[in-house]
């Protein structure tokens, strides 16, 4: 085996399922895994591999305080809620880390300028499976509308009453899709199957969305005409808190609002007021602005200190999932495969 270069990688915010898919991706890539890889995987690496990957898995997140652990590593693999601001990047640079490989699509948690200043490249996984997130968006819409989560419990308790379960027919309803990139277009494709009228907004218009029959409108028109508003744009300085008290006022009474993109798109104080005033009739969230303090961890025995989050969970017409839009076997495999490829071949650099 020509083991000419071993890339030492530190993987942060690791869950058990991450280890399994990354070790499989290393094995499939034909690189030479060490550390926690099963011996058989190491032995099966082809003799031709010239760049091998050796991952050490850390369960805790990447932040300025933990970046110091990276002294012996060339690359870090990071996730959506890792804090990769200027302080973290400075600490990584001191450890001589050369590459931050994000195992996600969004990169709003990275100070890209600081990374460039310190000569650290940042890669991401731009399109591991847009359909995966789009399908979860529809799961939120359908569950909120037809209340299958409540029906499940009722029937198990022998309660077959239908009061409180009244939904609406999706067919012919107008859905506003904000952001018509890969996930937005996948959502449009699925909504077409339900016979919805889709209107959309994006500063960069996409012919694919037009070809799918969606009609571009300005944001105010989208808010005014939509029974359902679904967010599919990245978090940046232009989109931060795009859903606020002002934009909510432009929406229909009883609107269904869905956010599977990034928590910071939504001002949570404004949506709590919108729920209390019944402006928002249904709220589906897969993301939350301060989710890094909560998501991906079992807090069932803790006293949760985020009062706005706790308030949101008390409304009967709110459904929150803990950033699981990406979480299918197919998507995880693709994420791991592309991340390893990005590390070895310097692809998908931001
Ligand atoms: P993409 O880059 O293909 O599309 C994003 C679209 O948003 C682009 O067309 C862009 O022009 C548009 N956009 C940018 N600023 C906008 C604004 N202010 N208003 C309206 N549109 C705007 O990204 P993709 O793959 O479709 O992902 C969308 C978002 O979904 C990601 O940024 C990420 O935050 C989120 N996401 C969530 C996941 C989850 O597990 N819940 C998993 C993967 C992505």
What does the pLDDT look like over 198-243, one tens digit per residue? 999 999 999 999 999 999 999 999 999 999 999 999 999 999 999 9
pLDDT for residue 37: 36
CB 258 within 8 A of CB 137: yes
- Output the pLDDT for position 50: 76
pTM beyond 0.85, yes or no: yes
> With bands split at pLDDT 50, 70 and 90, how would you rate the model's confidence at 35?
very low
Which tokens belong to 158?
Answer: 């022998």
| Residue 7 scores a pLDDT above 50 | yes
Architecture of domain 130-320: 3-Layer(aba) Sandwich (3.40)
**Residue 291 catalytic?**
yes
Domain with CATH 3.40.50.720 in the chain: 6-128+329-345, 130-320
The predicted structure's pLDDT at residue 128:
86
* 298-330 per-position pLDDT tens digit: 999 999 999 999 999 999 999 999 999 999 999
Per CATH, domain 6-128+329-345 is 3.30.420.40: no
Residue with the smallest CA separation from ligand 1 atom 12 is 179
| 48 Cα: distance to centroid of ligand 1 (angstroms) | 39
The residue to which tokens 């195992």 are assigned: 103
Q: Does 106 sit in the ligand 1 pocket, CB within 6 Å?
A: yes
Cα–Cα distances (Å) from 16 to 166, 194, 300, in that order, read 40, 37, 19
Cα–Cα distance, 212 to 192 (Å, whole number):
8
Query: Which residue out of 23, 289, 291, 334 is catalytically annotated?
Result: 291
238 Cβ closer than 6 Å to some ligand 1 atom: yes
Q: Which residues contact 109 (CB under 8 A, 6 or more apart)?
A: 78, 80, 81, 82, 83, 84, 85
CB of 264 closer than 6 angstroms to any ligand 1 atom: no
- Of 35-49, 59-73, 135-149, 240-254, least confident by mean pLDDT is 35-49
Atom of ligand 1 nearest to the CA of 178: 20
| 176 CB within 6 A, ligand 1 | no
């Amino acid at each position: 085996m020509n083991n000419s270069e071993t890339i030492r990688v530190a993987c942060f915010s690791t869950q058990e399922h991450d280890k399994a898919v990354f070790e499989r991706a290393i094995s499939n890539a034909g690189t030479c895994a060490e550390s926690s890889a099963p011996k058989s995987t190491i032995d099966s690496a082809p003799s031709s591999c010239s760049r091998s990957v050796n991952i050490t898995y850390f369960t805790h997140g990447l932040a300025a305080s933990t970046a110091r652990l990276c002294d012996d590593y060339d690359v870090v693999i990071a996730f959506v809620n890792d804090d990769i601001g200027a302080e973290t990047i400075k600490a990584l640079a001191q450890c001589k880390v050369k590459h931050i490989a994000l195992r996600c699509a969004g990169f709003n948690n990275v100070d890209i300028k600081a990374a460039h200043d310190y000569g650290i490249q940042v890669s991401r996984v731009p399109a591991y499976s847009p359909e995966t997130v789009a399908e979860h968006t529809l799961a939120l819409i359908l569950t909120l509308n037809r209340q299958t989560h409540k029906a499940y419990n009722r029937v198990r308790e022998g309660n077959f009453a239908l009061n409180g379960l009244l939904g609406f027919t999706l067919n012919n309803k107008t859905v506003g899709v904000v952001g018509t990139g890969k996930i937005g277009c996948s959502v449009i494709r699925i909504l077409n199957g339900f016979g919805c009228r889709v209107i959309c907004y994006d500063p960069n218009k996409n012919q694919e969305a037009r070809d799918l029959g969606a009609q571009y409108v300005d944001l105010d028109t989208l808010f005014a005409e939509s029974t359902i508003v679904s967010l599919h744009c990245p978090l940046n300085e232009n989109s931060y808190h795009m859903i606020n008290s002002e934009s909510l006022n432009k929406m229909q009474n009883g609107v269904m609002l869905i956010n599977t993109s990034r928590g910071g798109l939504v001002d949570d104080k404004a949506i709590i007021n919108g729920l209390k005033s019944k402006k928002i009739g249904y709220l589906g969230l897969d993301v939350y602005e301060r989710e890094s303090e909560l998501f991906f961890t079992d807090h069932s025995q803790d006293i949760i200190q985020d009062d706005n989050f706790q308030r949101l969970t008390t409304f009967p017409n709110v459904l929150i999932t803990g950033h699981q839009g990406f979480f299918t076997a197919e998507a995880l495999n693709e994420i791991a495969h592309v991340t390893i490829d990005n590390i070895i071949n310097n692809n998908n650099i931001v």
